Structure formats: structure tokens, C-alpha cells
């Protein structure tokens, strides 16, 4: 038993082994914390979900670990700032976030997902630098923001999905947004569905469907929106879910 203990102590005193263990702990923790956030996004059927958030956080943690390794390795030989690589992650993650927004077409849902990707990249940087307390607290705050505050924001409102068959959905989308705002409602998402999309049944093949998720304070406001949208030029049919 003593021999085994001495063997592991000898291994731990080896700098390479200690570096591997420390890096593994950080990367696994980054995956765990970001997976917690990613699971919520996956459950909400967002474009960037469980695996994407894990990859972003693990990659960010690895960047920070690498930056600190380079700093320690060349300390005294050059003026190396360990935060430089991490700063590139913070700015560079915007390209990935923009991709989630563009994928949603006219929908604004991608904005929150883009923000969550940026946030988990910061969690990964915190874990990679060894700031575990901040990473854990940030994970809890982000999860509460994404999950619990969402219910608080829409509390007391009526959510309905409008399916609008139209000749030109792109032109109609701006008009629908104006009508919704004029009636004091909230346009949660707006996207175009085409004829070959699963579950879409169009009366005419040359039309498309504009799907709008709207939150209103009263049923009267919803009725006004429906009536005004139905009267727009180019609207072939409208039904509510």
C-alpha cells in the first residue's frame, strides 16, 4: 500500500503529469458547466444546443490553458500577456453567434442563443484560468436568465402563433411587425416556411407561409392584429394555433 502511495506521489511531483491532470480537470469542468447551459438551449429547440455549447466552452478553456502554459514556459524571455489569446476568443465568438442568428431567417430567437454562446465562451476562459468560483456562479446566473426569467417576462401575456399564407412573405414580414407593434403586442419570432417544409399544407404551391409568434396582453389586441393582417394585400389565408 505504501509503495502504491509513493508511486502516485512520485507521479504527482512530475510537472508533465500534474499539467495533464490539471488540464483534464479544467476541460471536464468547462464541458460540465457549458453542457448545463447547452441542455437548456437544446430543450428549447434552439439552433445551437448541447454539443455546440460544450465545444465552445471546452475550446475557450483550452485556449486559456494554452495561453497560461506559453506564459509560464517563456516567462522572463519575452513580454507575453496571458490574456491575449483569451481576448481573441471573446471577440471571435461573435462570428459563431452571428451564424445562429442568420440561420433563424426573420426570427429574433437567435439573439439569445448567440448571447449564450458568448457567455459559455467566457465560462470556458474562467475555468481555463482557474477561476472556478466565478465560472460556477456565472453558470447558475445564465441558466436562471435563460430558463426562469423567460417565464417571468411572458407572464400575464397570451401567446399565439399566426400562420399567414402569402405571395411575398419577405415584404409582408415588415408589415406584420408594424401591425403588431402598433397594437402594443410583442413579436417573439418571425420566420418563413416553404412548401416543402414538413407539416406545411399550402392552398397554392406558389405561396409560402409566414409564421409569427405573438404575445398580447388581451384577446382584443390579438383580434385586431389578426383582422389587420388578414386585410393586407397578398395575404391568401390566415390561421391561428
Segment of 89-98, 147-156, 215-224 carrying the highest mean pLDDT: 215-224
Q: Is the pLDDT of residue 208 over 60?
A: yes
Boundaries of every domain in the chain: 2-153, 158-240
| Mean pLDDT in residue range 127-141 | 91
| Mean of per-residue pLDDT scores for the chain | 77
CB atoms under 10 Å from CB of 40, counted, come to 20
Q: What is this structure's pTM? A: 0.59
Q: What percent of the chain has pLDDT over 70?
A: 74
| Whole-angstrom distance, CA of residue 142 vs CA of residue 112 | 11
Query: For position 136, what pLDDT does the model report?
Result: 92
| Mean pLDDT in residue range 169-197 | 78
Query: For position 15, what pLDDT does the model report?
Result: 66
| Mean pLDDT in residue range 1-28 | 71
Query: For position 231, what pLDDT does the model report?
Result: 86
Q: Is the pLDDT of residue 106 over 50?
A: no
CATH superfamily of 158-240: ACT domain (3.30.70.260)
| Mean pLDDT in residue range 51-58 | 89
| Mean pLDDT in residue range 6-26 | 71
Amino acid at each position: 500500500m505504501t509503495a502504491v502511495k509513493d508511486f502516485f506521489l512520485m507521479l504527482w511531483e512530475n510537472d508533465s503529469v500534474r499539467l495533464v491532470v490539471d488540464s483534464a480537470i479544467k476541460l471536464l469542468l468547462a464541458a460540465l458547466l457549458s453542457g448545463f447551459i447547452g441542455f437548456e438551449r437544446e430543450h428549447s429547440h434552439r439552433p445551437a444546443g448541447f454539443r455546440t455549447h460544450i465545444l465552445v466552452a471546452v475550446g475557450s478553456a483550452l485556449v486559456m490553458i494554452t495561453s497560461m502554459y506559453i506564459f509560464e514556459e517563456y516567462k522572463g524571455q519575452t513580454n507575453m500577456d496571458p490574456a491575449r489569446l483569451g481576448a481573441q476568443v471573446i471577440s471571435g465568438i461573435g462570428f459563431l453567434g452571428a451564424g445562429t442568428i442568420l440561420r433563424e431567417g426573420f426570427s429574433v430567437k437567435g439573439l439569445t442563443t448567440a448571447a449564450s454562446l458568448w457567455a459559455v465562451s467566457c465560462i470556458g476562459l474562467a475555468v481555463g484560468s482557474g477561476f472556478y468560483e466565478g465560472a460556477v456562479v456565472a453558470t447558475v446566473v445564465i441558466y436562471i436568465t435563460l430558463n426562469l426569467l423567460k417565464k417571468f417576462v411572458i407572464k400575464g401575456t397570451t401567446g399565439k402563433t399566426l400562420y399567414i399564407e402569402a405571395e411575398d412573405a419577405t415584404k409582408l414580414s415588415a408589415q406584420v411587425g408594424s401591425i403588431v407593434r402598433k397594437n402594443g403586442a410583442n413579436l417573439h419570432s418571425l420566420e418563413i416556411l416553404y412548401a416543402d417544409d414538413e407539416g406545411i399544407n399550402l392552398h397554392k404551391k406558389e405561396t409560402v407561409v409566414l409564421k409569427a409568434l405573438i404575445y398580447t396582453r388581451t384577446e382584443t389586441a390579438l383580434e385586431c392584429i389578426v383582422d389587420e393582417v388578414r386585410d393586407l394585400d397578398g395575404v391568401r389565408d390566415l390561421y391561428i394555433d
